[in-house]
Structure 1
């Protein structure tokens, strides 16, 4: 059952990206440096980029559909789960490994629990504070009128 709205998912996206970047310091494995830290910080940048390019309430460029975004989230989660073993991240201690696994499970859960349809995609309409929904492109006046 998908119950997380795309609006809330967008908030989660940007918060999780910030958390990924800060995780090595928060969980005290930044001292390891190298691949474990660079990988999380690189993934943080990637998460922001594909969120910016998603056609949902928090996207700016709106190229990726929400379904595509959620597929990327799922792949992102699987990568985070597999990375400590697959990449043989040197010097990965238990805290770092659990951090990767925690973010991986979180990303998978978000991908499976978020609604796939944006209530009002940018191509259809835009919202303002005063109106519920208006056409994204106002109707053009008929030729020869004012």
Structure 2
């Protein structure tokens, strides 16, 4: 039987940095912004914040190690929830809105499959 939580904190860190690049590059590649230019800049800003939080997290790829991994996961859940609200807050529609809904679902799923610090086997 496969465990639901199979993503180690180390691999979560790799996912974080890849997600940051995707959040920075994605809106330009997808030509977001047709309903509101904020569709581009919220994503870019989020990508930069992911890098900052990742560098500050206590895991293998963190540099400053001040945010406990559990706190990092809580921030991930907050970001996923905010991504669900972005289309409403900025009146996004079409691809602009779908982009944020998809990102929210992905972040929720990544958190759901990530091992907690105490259950992680590195």
Smaller-chain TM-score bracket: 0.7 to 0.9
TM-score, normalization: structure 1?
0.73
How many residues in Structure 1 have an aligned counterpart in Structure 2?
117
Contact 1:53 1:64 survives alignment (8 Å): yes
Structure 2: tracts of 5 or more residues without a match: none
* Superposition pairs of residues 89-108 of structure 1, within 5 angstroms: 89-90=90-91, 92-108=92-108
Aligned to 1:27: 30
Closer, same or farther in 2 for the Cα pair 1:22/1:33, shift >3 Å? farther
Structure 1: tracts of 5 or more residues without a match: 121-146
- Tell me how far 1:103 sits from its aligned partner: 0.8
The alignment status of 1:65 with 2:106, answered yes or no, reads: no
Aligned to 1:142: none
Aligned to 1:3: 6
What is the alpha-carbon root mean square deviation over aligned residues?
Answer: 1.7
The alignment status of 1:42 with 2:45, answered yes or no, reads: yes
Deviation beyond 4 Å, 4+ runs, structure 1: 30-33
TM-score, normalization: structure 2?
0.87
Contact 2:80 2:104 survives alignment (8 Å): yes
C-alpha distance in 2, partners of 1:83/1:30? 13
Higher relative contact order (CA 8 A, sep 6+): 2
Contact 2:32 2:96 survives alignment (8 Å): yes
Which of the two has greater helix per residue? 2
